[in-house]
Structure 1
Amino acid sequence: MSAELVAAARAGLAELADAEKAPQMQRYMKSAMPYRGVATPARRKLANRLFRAHPLADVAEFTAVALQLWREATYREERYLAIDLTGHSAYRSWQSPGLLDLYEEMIVTGAWWDYVDEVAIRRVGPLLRAEPGVLEPILRRWAVDEDHWRRRTSIICQIGAKSATDTALLTTAIEASIDEPDFFLRKAIGWALRELAKTDPEWVLAFAGNHGGLSPLSRREALKHLKN
């Protein structure tokens, strides 16, 4: 069934291709890999249809298909479909720390925000909340990793966690990158703090007050909706 799903995915994207939109999308994302020109709503409809029509037998086949779509992609939307597959509701029960190697590959080899943010927030984050004893030590290592996309993941993976946010882990992740000039790390810090401020504004204000080294970008984003 896996080969049929991969073939159907490629054929489905080809049918939806828009030659006019494709180069525009590629320029916007600054992507070396070309696009088919398939808009997100259309791709998601295709994904739902494909995943219903081609059910996968077990987590091994699920992982193999995701990796094949990812590694053999010639158009960026094929990688988007790989990420869509990993989040499909039919396979929610298969989510476990055993998939972290898959997600780490997507983060490191994807190395751009459109891939990384989805995987970090919607795949790694839920795993952290479900299995904190397993994920927390890994994310603490990622927080100081040479790879900035692992670092970004450690910072933003708790977006949406609200009161379940592990603020000690978030503090570690932010402090590890607070002096980094990288735009995507500075933006990640501000974004993570801004989202947490929706449910714990006092903590965010105290954090900002105690961390004078926050970049102007991070601070502005963090306090965007707060009076300080």
Structure 2
Amino acid sequence: MGDPELQTAAEVRAALAAASDPARASGAAAFFKTGPGGYAERDVFLGVTVPATRAIVRRSSALPPADVAELVASPIHEERLAGLLVMVERFRRAGRVRTRDDAVRAAEHERYLDAVRAGHVDNWDLVDATAEYLLGEVVFPAAPVAEVVPPIVGELVTSDSIWPRRVAVISTFAAIKAGDPRPMLALAERLLDDPEPLLHKAVGWMLREVGKRVDRSVLTGFLDGHAARMPRTMLSYATEHLDPAERARYRAMR
């Protein structure tokens, strides 16, 4: 007999607390830069592994939307992650061919945008686990469309906060997987002068995926035109899977 289903936010919080580890929490706080001046300053960690969090999420399918929203707004990192992953799971389950429910997908998409705008999707792991699905799969359909950068992505990428900008970037993974590199290339060009290293990493990662999943020549064409201006970290991530000589040539252009 498996573990019982979790019916409320309080039950999810109790399950996360039971899986917590103070030593791991201390390590996570340092890794995620929660100290003064860090990008996750004042974030609170319980020390729950991602696999353990996902196992708890699998038991939370019946959680009411208000309870999910309560978790997403929590000051505790793993509680926010659990709430967001419940949203992802519902969104993806509603996208299956035999059980497709576009109303559920639209509702989770809107709740996600509310969470992003409220500042609850506020660390790179939270963004990277959610943006491709809860934003990207909605605004970047399987067939490329004329509107390269949808209005909501344009709104997020101009935010003063790093996290909506990263949401915008990672959302393009859905377009890349559908064979359309244009949204990523458009955002990458806009973000060449962004001051945040975590954005440089995200943009470089997505550019690398363009080269791997769509067309290597599309990546190298972008690099030919922009490598000289690209931040070092962005260029390093983007060229990671090129051969050593080509990688060195692009890095020498800076």
TM-score of the two chains, using structure 2 as the length reference: 0.74
CA contact (8 A) 2:206 2:238 kept: yes
* Counterpart for residue 201 of structure 1: 216
Match of 1:221 in 2: 237
> 1:1-228 residue pairs with structure 2 within 5 A?
4-31=7-34, 32-51=42-61, 55=62, 61-62=64-65, 64-71=66-73, 73-89=74-90, 90-92=93-95, 93=101, 94-96=104-106, 98-108=107-117, 109=119, 110-130=121-141, 136-159=150-173, 161-162=175-176, 164-199=178-213, 200-211=215-226, 212-227=228-243, 228=246
Root mean square deviation of aligned Cα: 2.6
Q: Per-residue deviation at 1:91?
A: 4.7
Q: 1:21 to 1:143 in 2, by over 3 A?
A: closer
Distance across 1 between alignment mates of 2:131 and 2:79:
19
- Residue 107 of structure 1, CA deviation: 3.3
Where does structure 1 lack aligned partners over 5 or more consecutive residues? Answer: none
Q: Which letter maps to 1:209?
A: D
Q: Which amino acid aligns with 2:15?
A: G
Q: Percent of counterpart pairs with the same letter?
A: 25
Give the drift of 1:153: 2.0
With 124-133 and 105-114 compared, the bigger mean Cα shift is at 124-133
Specify the code of the residue in structure 1 equivalent to 2:49.
Answer: A
CA contact (8 A) 1:107 1:115 kept: no
Task: Find the counterpart in structure 1 of residue 249 from structure 2.
Answer: none
Q: CA deviation at 1:70?
A: 1.6
Aligned length: 216
1:178 Cα deviation (Å)? 0.6
Give TM-score, length-normalised by structure 1. Answer: 0.82
Give how far 1:144 is off.
2.8
Instruction: State the AA in 2 paired with 1:65.
Output: D
Question: Conserved in 2, the CA contact under 8 Å of 1:156 and 1:191?
Answer: no
